[in-house]
Structure 1
């Protein structure tokens, strides 16, 4: 399992108000350093990867986009697979590193704890204890992104390699959902695993954090976002290509997941300042939109 499976790239920019940003990417590791004049609110849509953040500055406030009673304030949040989007807020001075993990690797790192926290997030030190706090201290001592990524990669790889593996049946079912863009019927997953429907749903939820039908919806939404972002067609075509009945089905599902329509989401992305920091936190996925500041 390799986290640093790509070259290091660094991007930076300045904003008209004097703020600045810098991002770095190598494989599945991402670094960020923001010095903005004001706060940021970002809508983070569900994805089929687990994001682990090691913050080196101020905490993030995470709020469920549908149920605003679900809130976490953490410097180093971990987000498992979720059915609903997250609104992430900070005050403008932010630095840290993050890594995008396959859910199977996240399960080996954290065990089933994320699978039991479908509607919430966790703080990394609460999951890994003192080693996580020491990792943050070591990362803060470095200013070079390559060294930071190597430290993070070494820390995670050892623990992932020692962790429990998914059952083979879960691995196959999850891969099948990805292969089909989330359109594989649950009955086909039942037949392919040789389990009963109840056993499949129980074991899949324990390992992944969502039931198969819920995970399929996340994969379909990501397929729809990527298709529309590519400019290959309007929302009606996007719905058809992505396994939704029609455009209304796509819009209703998207609103129930994120609190806004697909058109509103892409409108937020389009209205971002030209020099703003990159919107998406995971390479090759459409994950985020900068929202207007509330109030």
Structure 2
């Protein structure tokens, strides 16, 4: 376990010793003594937060609404900087699910989540409580990761897959870091534009154009966190100019590029999700 210190943020972070055997599933463990209004920055994955410690995280969102405990959030949650997390003595396993496998793992399409935070208890019923109890009984982070992976792998194997064409289009978007031409995706998978748009949205939770923008934003935001200049990031990440980058960052994160560059939510990623930065 490593200690992440970034301004006032001090978190203990644990990582699995090996990649997950489920493609599209990554995990990290967090122990946070005090979580004070952390801005949640949109990410191109479905987020599954499994808490088990003495404290309980609280997510504030959408004009005073809040969700406590284990939660599920759809891809891109936090647009406009409207979602914050807080809590004391929080211990949790955070899982990032590629939208391609999220429907099978969750038992519900990411499209059903929308722009909301859903309680895992509401989604999985008593199974969510059992997971919380079992995680609390395991004494090590590697044991918790193994337990989480086994539980989610079983759900993934039993759940319905997305269409291969939809998965192919998603991989194309991610592989290009958001530079794929949206109009060319349908031709690449051999479907009509209308059919791809409909299936993509219903199975992954967002339309292709939004997916392209989200993936491009995520790549650009992490480059800003790494200390690269906004003008260089804008040019390399496919933005028309620096103003275009500024507008996109504001739309997704509710903050300027300079502010986003200092967000702990993003700065912790090279420690928590190292395979994404190698």
**What is residue 22 of structure 2 aligned with on the other side?**
none
Give 1 or 2: higher helix fraction. Answer: 2
- Following superposition, the deviation at residue 61 of structure 1 comes to 2.9
The 3 A distance-change label for structure 1 pair 13 and 196 is closer
- Following superposition, the deviation at residue 237 of structure 1 comes to 1.4
The answer to whether the aligner puts 1:190 opposite 2:186 as a matched pair is yes
**What is residue 127 of structure 1 aligned with on the other side?**
123
The 3 A distance-change label for structure 1 pair 82 and 189 is same
The answer to whether the aligner puts 1:78 opposite 2:75 as a matched pair is no
Alignment of 1:62-211 (within 5 A): 62-64=59-61, 68-69=62-63, 71-82=65-76, 84=79, 85=81, 87-211=83-207
Cα deviation digits, residues 233-259 of structure 1 (max 9, x gap) = 411110111111111011011111111
- Following superposition, the deviation at residue 44 of structure 1 comes to 2.0
The one of 36, 41, 56 aligned to 1:59 = 56
Stretch moving more, 193-202 or 233-242: 193-202
Cα distance in 2, alignment partners of residues 187 and 202 from structure 1: 14
**What is residue 252 of structure 1 aligned with on the other side?**
247
- Following superposition, the deviation at residue 279 of structure 1 comes to 2.9
Cα distance in 1, alignment partners of residues 148 and 263 from structure 2: 32
Cα distance in 2, alignment partners of residues 45 and 249 from structure 1: 18
Q: Is the 8 A contact 1:60 1:88 kept in 2?
A: no
Stretch moving more, 240-249 or 48-57: 48-57
The 3 A distance-change label for structure 1 pair 90 and 228 is closer
**What is residue 292 of structure 1 aligned with on the other side?**
none
The answer to whether the aligner puts 1:23 opposite 2:13 as a matched pair is yes
Superposition CA RMSD, Å: 2.8
Cα distance in 1, alignment partners of residues 28 and 246 from structure 2: 31
- Following superposition, the deviation at residue 114 of structure 1 comes to 2.1
- Following superposition, the deviation at residue 189 of structure 1 comes to 0.7
Cα deviation digits, residues 234-290 of structure 1 (max 9, x gap) = 111101111111110110111111111111222455xx9xxxxx733851469xxxx
- Following superposition, the deviation at residue 56 of structure 1 comes to 1.5
- Following superposition, the deviation at residue 22 of structure 1 comes to 2.2
Q: Is the 8 A contact 1:35 1:92 kept in 2?
A: yes
- Following superposition, the deviation at residue 91 of structure 1 comes to 3.0
Cα distance in 1, alignment partners of residues 70 and 113 from structure 2: 16
- Following superposition, the deviation at residue 71 of structure 1 comes to 3.1
The 3 A distance-change label for structure 1 pair 109 and 243 is same
Q: Is the 8 A contact 1:63 1:72 kept in 2?
A: yes
How many equivalent residue pairs?
264
Gaps in structure 2 of 5+ consecutive residues: 20-25
The 3 A distance-change label for structure 1 pair 228 and 15 is closer
Q: TM-score, normalised by structure 2?
A: 0.85
Cα distance in 2, alignment partners of residues 74 and 167 from structure 1: 34
The one of 268, 274, 278 aligned to 1:279 = 268
SS at match of 2:252: helix
Cα distance in 2, alignment partners of residues 258 and 13 from structure 1: 22
